[in-house]
Chains A and B, each alone.
Chain A
Amino acid sequence: MNIFKSYLEGFKKTSVITRVVTIVYGVTLLLGLILAFTFNSMMTKNLGGRFALYDLLHDFNFTIYYDFMNHYGDMVKPLLSAMVWFGFFYFFFTVFFSGGILKLFEGSSIRSKSQAFFAGSAKFFFRFLRLGIYILIFQVIVFAIIAVGFSSIFNRSLPVSTEPKLFTILVVWAAAHVIFFIFISIVSDYAKILLVKEDSKKVWRAIWSAFKFTVKKLYLTFPLYIILLIVPVLLFGGYFFIEGFVGMTNTPGILIMFFVQQIFIWTRLFTKVWILGSEHDLFFSYLVIRSKPIITQEILLDESL
């Protein structure tokens, strides 16, 4: 099965560039640490001796948690807005590093992988930024269409339907959001692959070609992405199991969970790159590339494969 071959190839490609994955992980760690240290020093300084808060170490305490939020929540709110800004920044960073990673998948004349990575990132940043903005717009539009459509169905059903029927509508609604989100993400990934492969600046054409490929090979593109999405889900399951088992009720537990969390984050990142690597392999294993750039031509699929 080509799909499993692609997984394997994707894994191999990603394994070769784990250093790059670690660099990207390092950025998330750095940004997160800024907020975490700020929080820690602020709390220690202002509330260090208020031992009512210590209850929260062992278990959730509704009264203490909400008294804290009522009276000291303003201390935390700037951190929340900082988190949003960090997320915003990281989005651009993702746009940046995607070009570098794909360039590494393509192979580079530069010997140093790190140098090749940053060179690729810089080269494709602006065209990927355009792609990112278009994809974001697509996501918002599709989200809005689905939301409006289903909310209308739901509101009409609300006064007359039984609860199981309403629940079914909600499930289908949520599923529609997820499916279309994934679909657009897949198109986005193949568009990135094409842009790098052809070294093209024609973002719209790349999207259109990627769209056609995704649709024509939906039975491959979709499962490939979905199965790799299962990995983070399993990781989350595993994480919560370990957290429940270890607990964060004392210093050793906190330390163990810190490492578990960071392994989790690194693995999530690795999986994300692994998806891209697998898609890269899948895409090219189904293409017979003519001498002319494929973005400016129709993509010809070798049906014999």
Chain B
Amino acid sequence: MKFSFEFMLTFVYGTMILEPESNHYHHNRYVRMKIKTTLITVLLIPLLCSPLRAQIIFKQPLSQRVCNYDISVKLDPEKKILDGKEILKWKNPSKDNVKELQFHLYLNAFKNTNSTFMKESGGEHRGFGFNETKKESWGYVDVLSMKRIGGEDLTTKIKFIQPDDSNKDDQTVISVLLDKPVSPNEEIVLEIIFKSKLPRVFARTGFAGDYFLAGQWYPKIGVYEYPGIRYAEKGQWNCHQFHANSEFYADFAAYDVNITLPSNFIVGATGVLQSKINNKDGTSTHHYRAEDVIDFAWTASPYYKVVNDQWHDVKIKLMVQPEHFDQTERYIGSLKAALEYFDKNLGKYPYTTITVVDPPLNAIGSGGMEYPTFITGGTIWNLQEGLKLPERVTVHEFGHNYFMALLATNEFEEAFLDEGFNQYYETRIMDKYYGEKTSFINCFGFHAGDFEFSRQGYVGMRNPKLAEIYRKSWDYTVGGYGSFTYFKTAVMLKTLEGLVGLPTMDEIMKTYFERWKFKHPCVKDFIAIVNEVVNKNLGRKFGDNMNWFFDETLYGSDVCDYKLASIANIEKGRAKGLYDSSGVKKIYPDKKNDKPNYESHVVVHRLGEVKLPVEVLVHFDNGKEVLENWDGQARTVEYKYDGKSKVVWAKVDPSYKIPLDVNLINNTLTTEPENGVFDKYATQILFWVQNVMLSLSSLF
């Protein structure tokens, strides 16, 4: 059983551990109080029975729980500062003697324009309201002290490192050398005193007025990878800098977090609320516990409206802005749809809570974010039903709980394993629940499905060969991160689904999830499962394995484009003139009434470099249809047919199994064109040109 020492202190002494003058912690005061209070606490322990303890959530840990965080933090809402104390336990999971620890200090990404994040994002990410001339806009995290419990003071050993880009001004990762290494399976316990200044929200985390979204707010230890984890051949830290495109890769942990802030604030956080205690100084302390999660985030604002709901054993908490309250059902409905779909088609959501935060417009940069059991949505006042923004963002961010949080892939190095796989599921869920042609937008006759939109995100690129999917997130230096990581990956998986069939695809994904949850898989682990399941279900239909598919689509940057090049129906000539019959010259009879024979040719071209097996449907004028299977390898293929029927039309990939094909229009060809569609648009062009002219003339 886990017992939260900080929680108990807070409960017993309320404001005593707080500095009343300054309203935030002071380390020396902490130490003095700790001695005093520990004595009293020890005496009171027998009285403090189970209701005061942190409730254990899972009887059996779901993960390895390499770390254990016990954090007390106090928010100063005026200064936007978090004063915190973190007790970190880290158990060496490897067979190495670990001499160095590495931590993320991600709020330092917002310290100045020299951070790697700021340089990559150009100081603009997705929000607004950031005023660089105001001191309060910037954010940082300072480690005031770090010491090994019962051991050395490590504060002076802290040094900033830049493992990704050698940007010496970046302070988002620290290295701490230990004088005594941590042995295999040994647990090191650190006490870290830190001060975090939240930035004005313009990306992911921060404040806007008295709205707070605390993400990446505390010193978080990196992942020590050892042989057997991903690509590691020897033990080493995997602790990346904070980047514009990625921020998640951490080990599984249990968290006990006490958040103290003014009592008028409404709070939500990762995990399960254990207690809320009103202190004498007008503050409250909210104790949250989360287990088997890779991160902890929380939010606070006096203005939230809170809606509680439930899906099976999962408690849903929606924290919505008052002006968005009428969209409650949109959030809750889409969340339940996602819960149901993932549960049925990927795996069980193991946590007992999910909190959805609806940020205000002036902090929209913190919207659309994912943390374990805690996601942020995003909408605007009076949003049309036909614009599925809150639904999409809820489904998407919830899905991250499976890929970023439970599988816990490395977003820095293989972002597509999180964002792209999640995008694939987002499209499946949105299209199922909101319609294949309407799940993205459905307004004024303009409609689009979520998958349709995602596919355009890739095929609509000016240069879809710009990069390959398999690339480190910060290596998309000339753009394309979103298009490849999110959209091309989703289209690639949809194409794989088209080739192997939905049941096999579901089996692949379920196997991948069940086998690798809580274990940090990499893409080669996924491909191994694809090969295993495809071989089991489909034999050698696609060869020895499916590696070729990933070579073409994941590791390669070429495009797929098949084209129905031509259809020709050649009437076979009848013999004319004379022929010998028993020594008599006779003229060939004129069989005008006979239906002629035709030799029909259908030619398909492969314009792209990506080679995928593809079907070609050929339709004849007698209604007969032939489905050809082409391996798609050659540059061109020609199908010939002899008979009384002419080919009327033909279509490449008639079942739409290959959405990776960048041009679906050239997949079709008919010998009997209908020009109705062109007449329609010509008429519309005429009409709107006339309207434009009349409108311009009204300027005079």
Contacts and interface: CB of A to CB of B under 8 A. Distances in A.
A250 B676 contact: yes
B683 A36 contact: yes
A54 B669 CA distance: 11
A163 B665 contact: no
Given A52-B664, A158-B129, A163-B323, A33 B681 contact: no
A86 B692 CA distance: 9
Given A51-B670, A158-B362, A70 B683 contact: no
Given A36-B689, A160-B209, A50 B669 contact: yes
The number of chain B residues touching the other chain, given as a range, is 35 or more
A43 B690 contact: no
Contacts of A39: 678, 681-682, 685
Contacts of B678: 39-40, 43-44, 48
Contact of B694 (A162, A163, A185, A272): A272
A284 interface: no
B21 interface: no
A208 interface: no
A38 B460 CA distance: 26
Interface stretch (A1-9, A90-98, A198-206, A288-296): A90-98
B349 interface: no
A66 interface: yes
Interface string A167-195: 10000000000000000010010000000
Contacts of A245: none
A50 B380 contact: no
B150 interface: no
A62 B665 contact: no
Contacts of A268: 691, 694
A261 B700 contact: no
Contact of B663 (A62, A71, A163): A71
Given A51-B670, A265-B687, A83 B692 contact: yes
A83 B689 contact: yes
Interface in B288-324: 323
A64 B664 contact: yes
A254 B676 contact: yes
Contact of B361 (A64, A70, A71, A163): A163
Contact of B699 (A31, A68, A139): A139
A91 B664 CA distance: 40
A153 to B, nearest CB: 15
A167 B700 contact: no
Contacts of B185: none
A226 interface: no
B675 interface: yes
Given A53-B677, A86-B689, A258-B683, A62 B447 contact: yes
B449 interface: yes
A31 B670 CA distance: 33
Contact of B677 (A56, A159, A163, A164): A56
B460 A51 contact: no
A83 B445 CA distance: 24
A155 to B, nearest CB: 9
Interface string B649-676: 1000000000000111111111101111
Interface stretch (B161-169, B450-458, B624-632): B450-458
Contacts of A43: 678, 681-682
Given A51-B669, A163-B361, A254-B679, A62 B448 contact: yes
B480 to A, nearest CB: 16
B129 A254 contact: no
Contacts of A160: 209, 362
A49 B673 contact: yes
A36 B446 contact: no
A32 B456 contact: no
Given A31-B693, A248-B680, A53 B687 contact: no
A233 interface: no
Given A63-B456, A248-B680, A32 B686 contact: yes
Contacts of A146: none
A33 B361 CA distance: 46
Interface string B484-510: 000000000000000000000000000
A257 to B, nearest CB: 7
A255 to B, nearest CB: 9
A259 to B, nearest CB: 10
Nearest to B200: A159
A48 to B, nearest CB: 4
Interface string A130-167: 01100110010000000000000000001111111011
B696 interface: yes
B662 to A, nearest CB: 8
Nearest to B659: A63
Contacts of B669: 49-51
B622 interface: no
Contact of B700 (A64, A135, A162): A135
Nearest to A33: B686
A87 B693 contact: yes
A188 B447 contact: no
Contact of A32 (B129, B676, B689): B689
25 contacts: A28-B693, A29-B686, A32-B686, A39-B678, A48-B678, A50-B668, A51-B668, A51-B673, A52-B665, A54-B677, A56-B680, A57-B677, A60-B447, A62-B437, A62-B448, A62-B456, A67-B662, A71-B666, A79-B685, A158-B361, A160-B209, A160-B362, A162-B360, A250-B676, A269-B694
Interface of A: 28-29, 31-33, 35-37, 39-40, 43-44, 47-54, 56-57, 60-64, 66-68, 70-72, 79, 83, 86-88, 90-91, 93-95, 98, 128, 131-132, 135-136, 139, 158-164, 166-167, 185, 188, 248, 250-251, 254, 257-258, 261, 264-265, 268-269, 272
| Closest CB pairs A-B (n = 9) | A163-B381, A94-B697, A62-B448, A159-B129, A90-B693, A40-B682, A36-B686, A48-B673, A57-B677
Given A36-B689, A248-B683, 6 more contacts: A36-B682, A44-B673, A53-B665, A70-B460, A261-B687, A264-B687
